[in-house]
Structure 1
């Protein structure tokens, strides 16, 4: 029976992660890598078998493991708990082009995915199931919680604390904090694409623009016109 490695998530990000994880296991053939998709609409994707979770569990294999390639952090947490309950090992993915300036000073939690050209500098602590997409970087003295997501080209400068379940959009820039007073992004906050964050962001807030400010939705009221004959 062969080793079976599953990429949980068959959307765009999952398809990008598949080549990265295959490169980590060059001694395995293509059939050892599958997609897991609970709402699957096809049996094959980019030459790999697509299984739902029950099919993955029942697949005849001596050794199974999974990485979770789903951007929604709440879903990642639910799936991680499900995999643990079923005693499925959770594995990290790291592109060969990732740069760690001082690996001895970097703490990285389980289940992370680091895509091409991600750069981790020095004295960094990162929680579990962190996703960093292409060309993102994290500078010195940063603390990042669990289930945090960086889209491509996120610039996370020094002395920043990011709490659990934060999503940071493509090209966002976070200003450096200062020793003893880090810039803080609260739990569940969303930083919009291209935003420039210069001050703390409250938990659950959505901020956009440069400098970053709370997103305010405008609602246009439609008036009913009444004709009188």
Structure 2
């Protein structure tokens, strides 16, 4: 088995631990060593049966280990991964056993794909992407690094989602659209035209808010 450290001991971190348990029930792959979290108040505690070992600096002494970042905020997740550059660690890619996807899907390192998601054909998913519960991705989508999709996001075919985009729970994007990097699209929103300028967008159809 491969030793695995989960960065982030919050709600999504606990969900990722459960995802790993589901993987192991099918194919005994990962040995969860514990959580890594910079919140000193929870160091040396036990959360959902796993220890909180320390902050990011703890990983400097973890040779031949795998790490996955379970922090939902895209920009914070990117900063955390950048802090790890130069360390002797590898990034785990975690895909729940229930995920349905074709063999023509490319998935980058450090990416997490949660239960109930469906990904069709010729889709490219970057590094350190989070695709939460019950999402759908259509044909020929490009999902760039550090994107976060919250539960029940629906992305139609031929869409390009830029780096560090966050897509809120239950939102939808119609086919053939681009969403520029560093944008946030709110829960239940519907994107019906390209988002060309970074910002926060809400509504059906989406409008940028100040």
Same fold? TM cut 0.5: yes
Is 2:203 the partner of 1:209? yes
Aligned length: 205
**Structure 2 CA distance, aligned partners of 1:193 and 1:14?**
21
Aligned to 1:35: 35
- Change in Cα spacing, 1:29 to 1:193, as seen in structure 2 (3 Å) is closer
Aligned to 1:78: 79
**Structure 1 CA distance, aligned partners of 2:58 and 2:180?**
38
- Whether the 8 Å contact between 1:96 and 1:116 is mirrored in structure 2 is yes
**Structure 2 CA distance, aligned partners of 1:161 and 1:173?**
13
Spell out, residue by residue over 1:156-202, the C-alpha distance to the aligned partner (whole angstroms, 9 max, x if none): 0011111111000000010112xxxxx11001111100001100112
Equivalent position SS for 2:127:
coil
The root-mean-square deviation of aligned C-alpha atoms, in Å, is 2.0
Cα deviation, residue 81, structure 1: 2.5
Cα deviation, residue 28, structure 1: 7.1
- Whether the 8 Å contact between 1:121 and 1:138 is mirrored in structure 2 is yes
- Change in Cα spacing, 1:3 to 1:99, as seen in structure 2 (3 Å) is closer
**Structure 2 CA distance, aligned partners of 1:127 and 1:56?**
23
- Whether the 8 Å contact between 2:64 and 2:90 is mirrored in structure 1 is no
**Structure 2 CA distance, aligned partners of 1:74 and 1:169?**
15
Q: Which runs of 5+ in 1 are unaligned?
A: 178-182, 217-229
Cα deviation, residue 3, structure 1: 5.3
**Structure 2 CA distance, aligned partners of 1:23 and 1:170?**
23
Aligned to 2:105: 106
Aligned to 1:164: 163
Runs of 4+ in 1 over 2 A off after TM superposition: 22-30, 53-59, 81-84
Spell out, residue by residue over 1:80-135, the C-alpha distance to the aligned partner (whole angstroms, 9 max, x if none): 233331111110111111010x21x2111111100001111011111111110000
- Change in Cα spacing, 1:47 to 1:157, as seen in structure 2 (3 Å) is same
- Whether the 8 Å contact between 1:185 and 1:200 is mirrored in structure 2 is yes
Query: Larger C-alpha radius of gyration, 1 or 2?
Result: 1
Equivalent position SS for 1:96:
coil
More displaced 10-residue stretch of structure 1: 197-206 or 78-87: 78-87
Cα deviation, residue 29, structure 1: 8.8
Whose strand proportion is higher, 1 or 2?
A: 2
- Whether the 8 Å contact between 2:4 and 2:30 is mirrored in structure 1 is no
- Change in Cα spacing, 1:29 to 1:214, as seen in structure 2 (3 Å) is closer
